[in-house]
Amino acid sequence: MKVKGIAYDIPIIGYRVPNGVLLRLWQAEATEGFDFQDFNRGDFYGAVEQKVEAENITKVLYPNDNTMAGKRLRLQQQYFMVSCSIQDLVYNQ
């Protein structure tokens, strides 16, 4: 699955200090949001399946990992966040 990471910077201002820092958050988006071929075949859910799966990565953090689906989602989240952050570090060096 190909996923695109969108960065959002949130300013964090300290208490009684003259400076602040930026907190970089990531949102997952699908590289292709809609599959017209699936839609034309009548598979309406399949047409947006990739978009929904990609957005689920960052929709809810720290899912319950008592099930295999929860463990898989948590691993996807960890991989996604680390990958986006490392790519951002390398790109901005």
Q: How far apart are CA 63 and CA 8, in angstroms?
A: 22
User: Distances in Å between the alpha carbon of 80 and those of 13, 18, 86, 87?
Assistant: 27, 33, 10, 11
Domain count, the chain: 1
Provide the domain limits for residue 26. 3-91
What are the pLDDT digits (tens) for 8-64? Answer: 999 999 899 988 999 999 999 998 878 888 888 888 888 888 888 999 999 988 888
* Alpha helices per DSSP H over the chain: 36-40, 44-47, 49-59, 68-91
